[in-house]
């Protein structure tokens, strides 16, 4: 951990501002540990299928945190990959991809990109764009920010008669 913390300090010094940490599997566990040790250097943490739960406690970091997990992970039980989403600026994002494809899945890549560009002061829950909603179980009913200026679609009447 000493080497990782030194590397974090180097990166923050070079960028002159806190950085976002993204970790896949155990890399997400280490990202959480770094954010706990040096929250002043971290602006956000995004994890992909990472074992985060410690005993019966889900992590609560001081920085915005997104856990991307899958019920079909196949390596890390999804219940151990979630953060306490009742905590401010923490969220769990479910995807439909196995563990070994998390870093390559277009929906996951989109979610990671969305989370790491989100400024901590303006953190809002992730909302997938309309064309990707089916890749995020449980989020299909949410309207995207891109759709905010559009009225909801009008249902088509398919009944015959009158």
Question: What is the pLDDT at residue 151?
Answer: 45
The domain of 141 spans: 2-147
Phi, psi for residue 97 in degrees, rounded to 5: -155, 145
Q: What is the end-to-end Cα distance of the chain in Å, rounded? A: 73
In a domain, residue 152? The reply is no
The reported pLDDT for the residue numbered 159 is 52
Does residue 41 form part of some domain?
A: yes
Between CA 147 and CA 29 the distance in angstroms is 35
**Residue 156 covered by a domain:** no
| CATH code of 68's domain | 3.40.50.1820
Question: Does residue 157 form part of some domain?
Answer: no
User: Per the domain annotation, does 117 fall within a domain?
Assistant: yes
Residue 122 tokens, joined: 């303006």
- Residue 93 domain-assigned? yes
Rounded to the nearest integer, the mean pLDDT of the chain is 84
Q: Say if 38 falls within a structural domain.
A: yes
Q: What total number of domains does the chain contain?
A: 1
pTM, to two decimals:
0.81
Q: pLDDT of 66-124, one tens digit each?
A: 999 999 999 999 999 988 878 778 999 999 999 999 999 999 999 999 999 988 888 88
Residue 159 placed within a domain: no
Highest mean pLDDT among 49-58, 105-114, 130-139: 105-114
Burial letters 46-84, b for 16+ CB under 10 A, else e:
bbbbbbbbeeeebbebebbbbbbbbeebeebebeebbbb
| Phi, then psi, of 19 in degrees rounded to 5 | -120, 160
What are the tokens at 8?
A: 């974090």
């Amino acid at each position: 951990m000493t080497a990782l913390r030194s590397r974090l300090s180097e990166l923050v010094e070079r960028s002159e501002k806190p950085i976002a940490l993204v970790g896949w599997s155990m890399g997400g566990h280490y990202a959480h540990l770094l954010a706990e040790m040096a929250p002043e250097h971290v602006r956000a943490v995004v994890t992909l299928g990472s074992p985060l739960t410690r005993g019966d406690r889900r992590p609560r970091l001081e920085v915005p945190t997104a856990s991307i997990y899958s019920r079909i992970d196949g390596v890390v039980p999804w219940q151990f990959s979630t953060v306490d989403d009742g905590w401010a600026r923490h969220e769990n994002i479910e995807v439909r991809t196995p563990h070994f494809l998390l870093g390559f899945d277009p929906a996951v890549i989109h979610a990671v990109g969305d989370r790491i560009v989100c400024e901590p002061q303006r953190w809002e829950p992730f909302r997938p764009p309309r064309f990707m909603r089916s890749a995020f179980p449980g989020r299909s009913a949410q309207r995207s920010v891109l759709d905010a200026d559009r009225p909801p679609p009008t249902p088509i009447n398919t009944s015959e008669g009158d």
